[in-house]
């Protein structure tokens, strides 16, 4: 699954589908027609694309809908109820814009899909301003470690100038977006609802932050509610817009596996972060790795694989850091602190840490508390584990 290092992460080279016909949305009449067609809930992108290849233009496709040659009676009724001018006003009120297929901002790599959206609704920066993109997705009900990994990967990608694409869901998606934002990077959120519908509601502030430096994207017009069947459709756009896909945790049958499958069909490299073999959240990443996905431990591994870090330069910098005695937050440690930290091997009970360090539990507990305050370890479910920033 992993490919040779790639200089252009969003090159659009993939499955080789034809995409929308040239000139499909050119001109004001076609633009208005695309707005109406994109607002018909029963008209799937695949079916519309088939018609477009025969008709050539959006206006011609809309005429077929109105004449009964394309879609159902319900589709014709839906088309008659769309007022493009009113839709434009509603988009403007939400700070959103309409991006039809073939326009300068429309991501050309979406043409790799067998069912690309006829248009996107976008808030925030132009998508063309974020040319290098990697998707980071995973479990909604993630572990504390999975969340930490996703934040670190998002931050590392942003530091390297790579945009993070995800779906705005709780858990790994939110953590990846947040990591990118914390590093000042442009992140892209693809919604499974209308461009003006915040889902989940708890992410309202997150979406506002994304709009400030990145972009929020949807193939659905204003007012379309979040529904379960829209999320797999959203995942195909996440995969297509990205030059690579990273899976951080996922139980069997999760949406993260759907995104990975879309990526493989599109020829995008897939990477996964391994987890404990006993954890249900490790099922998808470990299965993907076993089948050939690239195994990464964090952003550095990924950036090296996709060609955004020079291996020789990275090795020299790492060696220089070791020689200088650099260490993650925590500064100089005492001999006892070193012994306790060295005894933490994966999620470990304090009693096991004490035995491994040859110390009494009463001595170890305050030392662990001090290490946690310094950001070197964390406690989850009564077990102690290293923080990513504190691993040496």
Same domain, yes or no, for 39 and 139? no
Q: Is the residue at 12 inside a domain?
A: no
CATH of the domain at 359: 1.10.10.10
Tokens of 329: 């937050």
Into how many domains does the chain fold?
3
Q: Is the residue at 84 inside a domain?
A: yes
List of E strands, the chain: 96-100, 119-124, 133-138, 163-166, 187-190, 215-218, 245-248, 270-273, 294-295, 377-380, 383-386
**In sequence order, what are the residues at sequence separation of 6 or more whose Cβ sits closer than 8 angstroms to the Cβ of residue 350?**
361, 364, 365, 368, 384
Same domain, yes or no, for 142 and 86? no
**Domain limit, last residue, from 262, 277, 312:** 312
Q: Which pLDDT tens digit goes with each residue over 242-280? A: 999 999 999 988 889 999 999 999 999 999 999 989 899
Tokens of 66: 């109105």
Same domain, yes or no, for 241 and 138? yes
Q: Is the residue at 225 inside a domain?
A: yes
Tell me: pLDDT of 11 over 50: no
**Domain limit, last residue, from 35, 64, 90:** 90
Mean pLDDT of 222-248: 96
Mapped to the 3 state alphabet, what secondary structure does 69-90 carry? Answer: CCCCHHHHHHHHCCCHHHHHHH
Same domain, yes or no, for 169 and 218? yes
Among 81-85, 214-218, 277-281, 306-310, whose mean pLDDT is lowest? 306-310
Same domain, yes or no, for 288 and 167? yes
Q: Cα–Cα distance between 91 and 86 in angstroms, integer?
A: 9
**pLDDT band per the 50, 70, 90 thresholds, residue 34:** very high
Q: Which residue has the higher pLDDT, 17 or 176?
A: 176
Q: Is the residue at 72 inside a domain?
A: yes
Q: Is the residue at 196 inside a domain?
A: yes
User: Which residue range is the domain that position 293 belongs to?
Assistant: 127-312
Same domain, yes or no, for 44 and 162? no
Same domain, yes or no, for 342 and 205? no
Same domain, yes or no, for 355 and 299? no
Same domain, yes or no, for 357 and 271? no
Same domain, yes or no, for 290 and 144? yes
Tell me: pLDDT of 113 over 80: yes
Q: Which pLDDT tens digit goes with each residue over 184-214? A: 999 999 999 999 999 999 999 999 999 999 9
Q: Cα–Cα distance between 92 and 37 in angstroms, integer?
A: 19
Q: Which residue has the higher pLDDT, 347 or 218?
A: 218
Q: Which of 231-240, 297-306, 315-324 has the highest mean pLDDT?
A: 231-240
**In sequence order, what are the residues at sequence separation of 6 or more whose Cβ sits closer than 8 angstroms to the Cβ of residue 3?**
269
DSSP string, 229-240: THHHHHHHHHHH
Q: Is the residue at 330 inside a domain?
A: no
pLDDT of residue 331: 56
Same domain, yes or no, for 149 and 248? yes
- Cβ atoms of 280 and 251 within 8 Å: the answer is yes
pLDDT of residue 329: 47
Tell me: pLDDT of 231 over 80: yes
Q: Is the residue at 35 inside a domain?
A: yes
Q: Is the residue at 364 inside a domain?
A: yes
pLDDT of residue 309: 65
Average pLDDT, the chain: 89
Same domain, yes or no, for 59 and 156? no
């Amino acid at each position: 699954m992993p490919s040779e290092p790639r200089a252009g992460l969003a090159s659009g080279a993939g499955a080789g589908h034809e995409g929308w016909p040239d000139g499909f949305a050119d001109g004001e009449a076609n633009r208005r027609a695309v707005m109406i067609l994109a607002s018909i809930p029963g008209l799937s992108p695949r079916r519309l694309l088939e018609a477009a290849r025969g008709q050539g233009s959006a206006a011609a496709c809309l005429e077929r809908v109105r004449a009964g040659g394309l879609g159902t009676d319900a589709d014709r009724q839906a088309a008659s109820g769309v007022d493009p001018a009113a839709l434009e006003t509603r988009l403007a009120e939400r700070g959103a814009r309409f991006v039809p297929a073939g326009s300068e901002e429309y991501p050309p790599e979406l043409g790799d899909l067998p069912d690309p959206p006829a248009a996107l609704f976008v808030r925030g920066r132009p998508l063309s301003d974020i040319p290098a993109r990697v998707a980071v997705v995973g479990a909604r009900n993630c572990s504390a470690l999975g969340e930490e990994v996703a934040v670190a990967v998002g931050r590392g990608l942003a530091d390297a100038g790579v945009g993070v694409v995800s779906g705005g869901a709780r858990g790994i998606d939110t953590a990846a977006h947040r990591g990118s934002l914390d590093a000042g990077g442009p992140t892209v959120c693809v919604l499974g609802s209308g461009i003006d519908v915040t889902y989940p509601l708890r992410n309202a502030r997150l979406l506002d932050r994304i709009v400030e430096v990145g972009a929020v994207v949807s193939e659905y017009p204003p007012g379309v509610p979040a529904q379960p069947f829209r999320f797999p459709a959203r995942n195909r756009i996440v995969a297509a817009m990205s030059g690579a896909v990273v899976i951080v945790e996922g139980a069997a049958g999760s949406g993260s596996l759907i995104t990975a499958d879309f990526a493989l069909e599109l020829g995008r490299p897939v990477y996964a972060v391994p987890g404990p073999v006993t954890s249900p959240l490790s099922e998808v990443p470990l299965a993907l790795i076993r089948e050939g996905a690239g195994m990464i431990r964090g952003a550095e591994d990924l950036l090296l694989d996709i060609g955004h870090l020079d291996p020789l330069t990275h090795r020299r910098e790492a060696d220089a850091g070791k020689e200088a005695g650099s260490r993650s937050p925590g500064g100089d440690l005492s001999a006892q602190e070193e012994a306790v930290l060295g005894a933490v091997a994966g999620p470990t009970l304090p009693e096991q840490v004490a035995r491994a360090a040859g110390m009494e539990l009463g001595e170890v507990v305050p030392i662990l508390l001090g290490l946690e305050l310094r950001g070197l370890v964390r406690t989850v479910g009564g077990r102690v584990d290293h923080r990513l920033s504190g691993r040496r």
